[in-house]
Structures are given as C-alpha cells and as structure tokens.
C-alpha cells in the first residue's frame, strides 16, 4: 500500500543551537513519503546560514517575524500532503515518529495524533529537572502525558511540538489563531473537538525536547502560559483542569491565613518529591521550582483576567 504524503513543518526563530540536530533527526526518519518544511520566522542569528547548508534536502520558507502560528498556517496552506506533522526546532524526533503518529488515523473523524516528550541524551542537568517538573505537573495541563498503557488513548489536547493533523481538518477550522502564543495549540484542539473531531495520543510516538536553559526563561514562560489561559477562559469558559488552579491557589492562601497548620502541606509536598526523585538536590530544585512556577503562572492568569482590559477574547 502506498504511504500517504506527510509534510513535516517546523517553525524556527533564532534556534542556531538546536536546529541542526532537529533537521538531522528528521532526515533519518523511517518513512518514505515525506517532506521537511522549515519556516524561518525572521531569525537574526546563524539559523539562516545553518538552513542554507540543507537546501538540497529540505524546503525553507523565509518570513518576517510573526510567530509560530503564522509559520505553521503558511506552510499548511502551501502543502499538498494529506497529513501535516509539527515539531519544534529544539526537538529531536525518534526514527519511527511519523509511523507511530500515522497509526492512529484509523477513522475519518480522527483529526490529530500526538506523542510523548522525553529529554535528549545530552540535555543539561537543569533541563532534566525542568522536564521532571513538567512530568510531575502534566496531569493539570496535559502538556506531558504519562501512559501506563503502550497504546492509543483519546485526549483533549496534544502540544504542537509533537503532533500530526489531517490537513483538511486544519483547513476546515481556519488553522491556528495567529494572535495567540503560547496556547495556540490548545485553542486549535478545543475548536476541533467542538466540531466533533477526535484527538488521540500514542506514547510510542517520541520526540526529545530541549528545555529552557535558565530560571528566568522558565518563569517568563509560566507567566505567558497563565495569561493565555486567562484569554482561553474568557473565550470558552473553564474547560481545562489547569484553569481551576487559580481558584485552588486562592483557596490555599485563605487556608494558610485562617490556620497556619496548613503549612504542614509544604513538608508533605517536599517528602513526596524526595521519594519520587530519591535525590536531595533534585528534590530541592523541583520543590522551589513548583512553588515559583505556581506563583508566576497565577500572576499571569490574574493579570490576564483582571488587568488586561483589551485581551482579544474572540477567536481571530
């Protein structure tokens, strides 16, 4: 049977440190009928020069800097493939990545299939601890999923760093909201689900994702995530577990004010992390990281809900 055509689309903005490893992994995929489209989003570092070295093997679209959603939409509009797969420029894909994603498309109502995120072999100690944080808190936002089964399961959302869509389904709902970032993938999947499409997760479809290299970058990211969740909550109401975090956060603060004994929850959390990591340094890091990320995420959410009067609530 003829393999369906797949377009792999990768937005790239100032990714000189990781883009070569990303492309090399894409070129080694165990699949015959695919193309690689790297969308240079107005990079100002050495990304352009690195991409030029692969001009015989990949397609490069050079655009003005307008964000990853615009990059993906432009590439999807020019693709002629039946399926489009997305990953990020700071990711390395497993050689069977495309085959594992494609397995899930067994019915016409299945719009997307996503997969797992692991740490690369050469990830820093800091990056591995950030990965551990995402794994421990993944049940809230669905960004990183852990499956006890090695089989397909239905999900409400797949992150855009590891997902494949039917191209027709994307075009039918107008693609990504180019005004949103991050959270554009959450918005897209929500609209697909409302149209009756099914989203699946295959833990065997693996990418290896480098994480931000400093606390400043991570906390800034957490704040942006919080703002975006405020936007999505204003658009659609509460439809994700993570959107209830601010309510829980305020509830905990009130408990601590009324009864200081609730501070005992903090050492209990630390004990859980130590038992999970079996390492004091990692447990200390993740413990502080969770508390600070919770703070910055909630600051972003409340900023979006209370102070940003001109949030673009309608989809556009």
* Residue 62 contacts residue 131 (beta carbons within 8 Å): no
* Residue 120 contacts residue 92 (beta carbons within 8 Å): yes
Q: How many CB atoms lie within 10 A of CB 301?
A: 24
pLDDT for res 291: 79
* Residue 306 contacts residue 246 (beta carbons within 8 Å): no
Stated pTM of the model:
0.86
pLDDT for res 316: 42
Whether domain 6-124+142-211 has CATH 1.10.1200.10: no
pLDDT for res 62: 95
Q: Where are the domains of the chain?
A: 6-124+142-211, 217-307
pLDDT for res 28: 97
pLDDT for res 264: 65
Instruction: Give, to the nearest 10 degrees, the angle between helix 215-236 and helix 184-194.
Output: 30
Average pLDDT per 10 consecutive residues for the chain, totaling 316 residues? 92 96 98 96 96 94 95 96 97 98 92 96 91 74 66 92 96 93 93 95 96 87 90 86 72 66 67 73 76 85 77 55
Q: How far is CA 297 from CA 137, 220, 290, 305, in A?
A: 13, 9, 10, 12
Residues 6+ apart with CB under 8 A from 250: none
């Amino acid at each position: 049977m003829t393999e369906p055509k797949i377009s792999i689309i990768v937005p790239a903005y100032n990714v000189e440190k990781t883009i070569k490893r990303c492309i090399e992994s894409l070129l080694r995929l165990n699949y015959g009928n695919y193309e690689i489209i790297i969308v240079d989003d107005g990079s100002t570092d050495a990304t352009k020069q690195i991409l030029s070295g692969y001009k015989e093997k990949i397609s490069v679209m050079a655009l003005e800097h307008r964000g990853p959603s615009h990059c993906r939409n432009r590439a999807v509009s020019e693709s002629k493939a039946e399926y489009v797969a997305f990953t990020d420029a700071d990711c390395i894909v497993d050689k069977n990545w495309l085959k594992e994603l494609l397995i899930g498309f067994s019915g016409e109502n299945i719009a997307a299939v996503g997969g797992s995120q692991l740490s690369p072999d050469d990830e820093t100690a800091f990056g591995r601890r950030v990965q551990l944080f995402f794994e421990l808190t993944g049940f809230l936002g669905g960004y990183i999923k852990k499956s006890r089964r090695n089989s397909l399961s239905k999900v409400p959302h797949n992150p855009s760093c590891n997902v494949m869509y039917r191209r027709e389904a994307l075009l039918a709902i107008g693609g990504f909201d180019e005004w949103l970032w991050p959270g554009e993938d959450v918005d897209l999947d929500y609209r697909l689900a409302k149209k009756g499409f099914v989203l699946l997760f295959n833990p065997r479809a693996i990418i290896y994702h480098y994480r931000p290299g400093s606390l400043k970058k991570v906390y800034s990211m957490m704040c942006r995530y919080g703002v975006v969740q405020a936007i999505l909550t204003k658009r659609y109401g509460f439809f994700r577990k993570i959107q209830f975090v601010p309510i829980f956060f305020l509830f905990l603060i009130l408990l601590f004010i009324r009864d200081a004994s609730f501070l005992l929850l903090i050492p209990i959390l630390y004990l859980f992390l130590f038992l999970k990591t079996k390492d004091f340094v990692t447990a200390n890091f993740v413990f502080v990281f969770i508390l600070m990320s919770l703070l910055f995420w909630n600051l972003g959410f409340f900023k979006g809900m209370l102070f940003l009067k001109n949030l673009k609530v309608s989809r556009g």
